[in-house]
Each structure stands twice: as structure tokens, then as C-alpha cells.
Amino acid sequence: MLTTTEHIVSDVFEDEFVFCCLLDGHIFYSYNKPGTICDDSVMKSIFSHYEKLSTERPLKIIAEMGLHSSMSRQAREFLQEHTKLAVCEAAVIHSLAQRMLINFYHSFKKHQHPSKVFKSSENALSWVKTFQEVEIHNSH
């Protein structure tokens, strides 16, 4: 899990399965807690929180799976059927089983933004910081 004391943390959402927040005002961080199996309702909560925070502009995303955490079939189906506008997306995994799950997910789901898998949250953070923020200009 990223050390949040080194960042400006806001808009925290947490339950027994996941911790989500906005880091430094432009990075959406989602952490599936160790030993949890997230179902589609958890994925819907994560998506809802992201949508609430990204109304002004797409965000950079870091999605980290805690040790021994996984997703149910319903959660994987939800991810396959739903997309989100993002600047970039980094997945952080800690086991071979998680890598297989992410690789399977990426084989079916093509992102419209750069995405990459990492073994450490620090490397993922360094990678997402290389991308420029995107502003959405509304014409009224």
C-alpha cells in the first residue's frame, strides 16, 4: 500500500474491502485490502467514487491489489462491461495469481488510455507521474 503520509490525501472512501482516495489532487488510488475477495458491488462502489471525483477531468489511476486479495467472477464481468475515462492506469499486484487475473482481464479489455502492471506501488506512482493532467473544457 502506498504511504499516504507523503501525499495530500482527500476524498477518502473506505469499507471492509477497499480503501480509495485522491492523491495530490489528480491520482485516484484504489487498494483492495489483503485477503479480500471483491464482488461486483465493491467494483460499483469504486467506480462510483471515481466518477464523483473525475467530473472535472479524467484522473490518473493506481489500482492495487493487497496480498491474497482477488475478485469474484461478477466483479470481473463488471470490469469487462464498464469503462472509465482516465489519463493512465497502473495496476499493482503482489502474486502470480493476481498477475494471471490482470493479464486475463487485459486480454479482453482494451483501454483507451495507457495501462501497465507493476509489482510495487512506488514504481506505479513514478510511472503515473510521467503523464500530464488532462483538462476537459465544457462549452456552454
CATH number of the domain residue 14 falls in = 3.30.750
- Asked if the structure places residue 42 within a domain, the reply is yes
pLDDT per residue as tens digits for the range 87-135: 999 999 999 888 888 877 767 666 688 999 999 999 999 999 999 876 5
**What total of structural domains would you count in the chain?**
1
- Asked if the structure places residue 139 within a domain, the reply is no
- Asked if the structure places residue 102 within a domain, the reply is yes
pTM listed for this prediction: 0.88
Of 41, 89, 91, 40, which Cα lies nearest the Cα of 66? 91
User: Residue 34's CB: how many other CB atoms inside 10 A?
Assistant: 12
- Asked if the structure places residue 86 within a domain, the reply is yes
- Asked if the structure places residue 133 within a domain, the reply is no
Contacts of 63 (CB under 8 A, 6+ apart): 30, 32, 89, 90, 91, 92
Which residue segment(s) compose the domain that 78 sits in?
A: 4-128
Amino acid at 15: D
